[in-house]
Amino acid sequence: MKIALAQQNYHIGNFEDNTRKIIEGIDWAKKQGADLVLFSELCVCGYPPRDFLEFADFISKCKQAIDEIKQYADTIAVLVGAPDINPVREGKDLFNAAYFLYEKEVKAVVHKTCLPNYDVFDEYRYFEPAYNWKIIDFKGKKLAVTICEDIWNLGDNPLYRNCPMDELMKQQPDIMLNLSASPFDYTHVEDRKAIIKLNVEKYKLPMLYCNCVGSQTEIVFDGGSLVFDKHANLIKQLPLFEEAMEIVELNADGNFTLSVTTAAKDLPDAEFNPAELDYNLCTAEIHNAIVMAIKDYFSKMGFTKAILGSSGGIDSAVTLALACTALGKENVRAILMPSPYSTGHSVSDAEQLSKNLGNPYDIMPIKNIYESFLAELKPIYKDLPFGVAEENIQARTRGNLLMAIANKFGYILLNTSNKSELATGYGTLYGDMAGGIGVLGDCYKMQVYALAKYINRSKAIIPHNIINKPPSAELRPDQKDSDSLPDYSILDKLLYQYIERRQGPAAIKAQGFDAVLVDRVLKMVNINEYKRNQFCPIIRISPKAFGVGRRVPIVGKYLS
C-alpha cells in the first residue's frame, strides 16, 4: 500500500485556502499512485480554532469543506481532520475528528479520545472524548487511526483513563496512522520520536505520523512528520518549518521500501526534559521557528511592513535581523531614538547594524520631547529626585513615536523584550513593552546572545560591539542591567527552574542558588504578572512560555 503524508500550513478559519491546499495535496498523491493520503489534525479549519468552535456557522463551513474535499477522494482514500457534531445530548457538542473519505463518501469518522487541557491546549473546553474505537478496513489492511494526543498516553503516570490504541489492538490492526497538530518547542522534536518509538515497541506496528507546519499567532508548528517501521526504526522525517509531501510504500510484511534513516537503538527512549537551561540548545531551530512565526503572523493577518525601536542593544539587534530574514530587509524600518543618556556608540552600533542588513532606518532624538514632559510635570513633581518615573517617560516617549509612525504608514510594531526581562518586570508598560507581537519574549537573555552568534555564523551582521558590551536600558547616567538584576548567566538558570520546571524555592535553593537571591527573584516574577497580562502575544519556543500557556493569578499572594 502506498501512503502519502501531506505536511501543510493552514490558516485558522480560512476554509477556502485550507480546502484548496488539501485538494492540491490529494491531486499530488494521486499522481504518485498513492492509495491513501494522510493530512493533519483539524486541517480543514486550522488548529487551534478555540472559541470559533462555539459558532454554528463555523461548524457548518467545516462540513461544507468536507463535502467539497470528498469529491476528490474518488480513487484515493483521504484522512483529514475537522470537528464532528456529537449526536448525544449529554456531553460536549463536538468531537475532534478524523474523516476517512473514499469513493466520494465519508466512509468512517474517528473521534479523538485524549483531549489535552494543559499548557497551550484547552480541547476539553470544546470537545467530548471518543465513546468507541474501531479500526478502518481499507484494501485488505486494518488501519488504526488516532489523533495527536491519543498516542501520548503511555508511561507509568498516564494522564488519561483510556488509551485508544489499547482498544484498537483488540481488532488486530496492521498499521497506525496519526493526524497531529503538535506545536514546536526546543524539546519537542526529540519528544515526538521518543513517543512514537514507545508506541511502535508496545504495539509492534508501523506508524505514520503527519504533523502540520506553520505559525498561528504565538504557537509555532514545525512539521517534522515521521514514518516508523514495525521495528521502531525511523524510516523518514519530513523537514522542519516548511511544507512537504512524501510517499512511502508499505509492504505486506509491515516493512517499507525506503531504507532505515535512524535505527531504533539510536532514537530517544523517553521525553526530553532538560534539568538545566542550555543556552545553546536547538539555536538553529529556535531561529527558524521565530522567522516562520514572524512571516506567518504578517502574511496571515494581511500585513507587510514592520517597525521597531533600534537601541544598539542585543535584543533589538536580534529582533531586527530576524525580521529582515522573515519579511525582507526593505519591509522592516528601524527607528533610532537616543535619549540624553544614550551613549554615542549605541547610535553608531544601531546605524552599522542597519547598514549591514540594508534595512531603512531613521534617527529621532527624544531629548526635546522628554524635556517638555519634565517641564509640564514640574509643578506636580516639584523637586522630587530623579527616579523610575523619569526613566519610564523616556521609554513611553519612544513607544508613542513608534506607534505614531506605525499608525501613519501601516506598520506593525515588533516588541523586543526578552523572557528574562518579562519574568522580572524589567520593562515599561506602554513603552518598551508595546508591540503587536513579542519576537523574543520566550527567549532568555543568554539565548538571545546565542541567537546573535548564530545570525553571525557566516559573517558579522550584528556588530561585535553590540554582542560584547554590557546590556543597559540607558535611561539614567551609566546605567547597567546588572544594577537592577542579577547576572543573566545566573538569573536565566534560576528562572528556568521556576518557570519551565515549576520548582519551588526550597528545591531551587537546594541546587546551590543563593537563598536570598531565590526569594528576591521569585517575588519579582510573581508581582509582575500584571505587566505580562497586558503584554502582546509571544512567539512560543519553550515548553512553558508566558501567555496562553502559563496562567497564574495577578493578585495571588504565593511567593510575593
Give 517-531 pLDDT, tens digit per residue. Answer: 999 999 999 999 999
Rounded to whole angstroms, how far apart are CA atoms 38 and 245? 10
What's the confidence (pLDDT) of residue 155? 83
DSSP string, 152-217: ---SSS-SSS--HHHHHGGG--SEEEEEE--B--TTHHHHHHHHHHHHHHHH---EEEEE-EEEET
Instruction: Give Rg (Cα) of the chain.
Output: 26
Measured N-to-C along each axis, helices 314-327 and 283-301 cross at an angle, to the nearest 10 degrees, of: 60
Closest CA to 169 of 209, 200, 130: 200
pLDDT tens track for 116-129 = 999 999 999 999 99
Q: Which CATH superfamily is domain 2-266 in?
A: Carbon-nitrogen hydrolase (3.60.110.10)
Q: Where along the chain do its domains lie?
A: 2-266, 283-478
Residues assigned a catalytic role: 41, 112, 148
Give the residue-averaged pLDDT of 194-199: 97
pLDDT at res. 392: 96
Task: Give DSSP secondary structure letters for 387-399.
Answer: -HHHHHHHHHHHH
- Other C-beta atoms closer than 10 Å to the C-beta of 553 total 10
Give ∠ CA 275-278-280 in degrees, rounded to 5.
Answer: 160
| pLDDT, position 343 | 79
Instruction: List strand residue ranges (DSSP E) for 290-399, in order.
Output: 306-309, 332-336, 361-363
Range in 192-196, 480-484, 489-493 the model is least confident about: 480-484
How many angstroms separate the CA atoms of 281 and 300, rounded? 29
d(CA 260, CA 491): 43
Look at residue 502 in the predicted model and tell me its pLDDT. Answer: 97
Grid coordinates representing 469 are 558590551
Asked whether 528 and 173 are in contact (CB, 8 A), the reply is: no
CA pseudo-torsion sign 456, 462, 468, 471: negative
Q: Which of 217, 216, 198, 191 is nearest to 438 (CA)?
A: 217
What CA–CA distance (Å, rounded) separates 387 from 393? Answer: 10
Cβ atoms of 26 and 73 within 8 Å: the answer is: yes
pLDDT at position 462:
98
SS3 assignment, position 28: helix
What the block records as the C-alpha cell of 71 is 469529491
Q: What are phi and psi of 370, to 5 degrees?
A: -60, -45
91: left (phi over 0), alpha (psi -120 to 50) or beta: left
Under a CB-based contact definition with an 8 Å cutoff, are residues 450 and 456 in contact? no
Instruction: Strand 226-228: give its sheet, edge to edge.
Output: 136-138, 141-147, 175-180, 207-211, 226-228, 234-237
Q: Residue 448: its pLDDT value, please?
A: 98
Asked if residue 474 has pLDDT above 80, the reply is no
Question: Taking Cα atoms as reference points, which of 123, 173, 126 lies closest to residue 149?
Answer: 123
CA distances for 464 relative to 318, 329, 351, angstroms: 12, 20, 13
Judge whether residue 144 has pLDDT over 80: yes
Q: What 8-state DSSP symbol labels residue 366? A: -
Domain 283-478: CATH superfamily is HUPs (3.40.50.620)
Coil, helix or strand at residue 326:
helix
DSSP 292: H
- Predicted confidence (pLDDT) at residue 484 exceeds the cutoff of 90: no
Q: What is the average per-residue pLDDT within 371-397? A: 96
For the cut 90, the answer to whether the pLDDT of residue 480 exceeds it is no
Taking a C-beta distance cutoff of 8 angstroms, is the pair 401, 425 a contact?
no
Out of 13-22, 251-260, 308-317, 529-538, pick the least confident.
251-260
The model's confidence at residue 374, banded by pLDDT at 50, 70 and 90, is very high
Residues 319-357: tens digit of each pLDDT:
999 999 999 999 999 999 999 888 778 899 999 999 999
CB of 320 closer than 8 Å to CB of 448:
no
Q: What pLDDT shows up at residue 363?
A: 97
The distance in angstroms from the start CA to the end CA of the chain is 60
Report the sign of the C-alpha dihedral through residues 502, 508, 514, 516, in that order. Answer: positive
Percent of the chain past pLDDT 90, that is, above it, reads: 93
479 pLDDT above the threshold of 90:
no
Whose cell is 516639584? That residue is 382
